[in-house]
Chain A
Amino acid sequence: DSGVTQTPKHLITATGQRVTLRCSPRSGDLSVYWYQQSLDQGLQFLIQYYNGEERAKGNILERFSAQQFPDLHSELNLSSLELGDSALYFCASSAGAGQGYYGYTFGSGTRLTVV
């Protein structure tokens, strides 16, 4: 157990629907990162939050949004889902916002299948 908790582990939904993925960071970590992993593209950075504030955005679609709550858990919202959104979604956490030297701690991911 890495200490980063992601729910649900698996999600199957239809095109056009909206889903919410949840992440609880490791105790004491203030930063949360969301990554998408598909077979052909590897791990792609989506967005980072630090202590409730958005810190950086990557290749995140406008249909996707995220937030980090006061208790530091984060949610990734995916809407108007398309078949191409099927992927593994990982959450990772770290202690600071500018101290990545020890790497991130990743959760076990949510496998999203859009049918």
Chain B
Amino acid sequence: EDQVTQSPEALRLQEGESSSLNCSYTVSGLRGLFWYRQDPGKGPEFLFTLYSAGEEKEKERLKATLTKKESFLHITAPKPEDSATYLCAVQEGTGFQKLVFGTGTRLLVSP
């Protein structure tokens, strides 16, 4: 069964203090790995899709990378508005679109 484990569960950073979030996965044939951002009381907001090991994508202060067993979400010089829960999900290559989500990393960036 597909599994997604995210670490740490919670992370507190000072504004400007860069760090990385980890997503380890087990899937039989990765079709795509997804990163979402979720603010309290709201639905997840799509950030990135990564398809193959070695791929990287960037958006503002966020950069996602992928290896054969894990993905990292690097946050460079974060700002308080980056505070949110970051969710990782995988989709296996069976043609069926179910996404399996991790439980997320709660990020708090203090000014």
**What is A's interface to B at a CB cutoff of 8 Å?**
2, 4, 31, 33, 35, 41-45, 48, 55-56, 58, 90, 92, 94, 97-109, 111
Cβ contacts B45-65/A at 8 Å (1 or 0 each) = 110010100000000000000
- Contact B98–A58 (Cβ < 8 Å): yes
Q: CB within 8 Å of A: which of B35-49?
A: 36, 41-46, 49
Complex alpha-carbon distance, A2 and B42, angstroms = 11
Complex alpha-carbon distance, A101 and B89, angstroms = 12
Interface-central residue, B36, B97, B99, B101, by most chain A CB under 10 Å? B97
Contacts of A97 in B (CB 8 A): 97
In this complex, what residue of A is CB-closest to B34? Answer: A103
Task: Say if the beta carbon of B103 comes within 8 Å of chain A.
Answer: yes
A103-B103 contact given A2-B43, A58-B98, A97-B97, CB 8 Å threshold: no
**What is B's interface to A at a CB cutoff of 8 Å?**
31-32, 34, 36, 41-46, 49, 51, 87, 89, 91, 95-104
Complex alpha-carbon distance, A106 and B98, angstroms = 14
Complex alpha-carbon distance, A101 and B44, angstroms = 16
A41-B103 contact given A56-B98, A100-B97, A103-B34, CB 8 Å threshold: yes
- Contact B43–A101 (Cβ < 8 Å): no
- Contact A100–B99 (Cβ < 8 Å): yes
- Contact A48–B98 (Cβ < 8 Å): yes
- Contact B49–A31 (Cβ < 8 Å): no
Complex alpha-carbon distance, A45 and B90, angstroms = 12
Partner of B99, one of A2, A4, A45, A108: A45
A98-B97 contact given A42-B102, A103-B34, A103-B49, CB 8 Å threshold: yes
Contacts of A101 in B (CB 8 A): 32, 49, 51
**Chain A: minimal CB distance from B85 (Å):** 10
Complex alpha-carbon distance, A2 and B38, angstroms = 13
**Chain A: minimal CB distance from B2 (Å):** 10
- Contact B42–A105 (Cβ < 8 Å): no
- Contact B46–A105 (Cβ < 8 Å): yes
Contacts of B42 in A (CB 8 A): 108-109
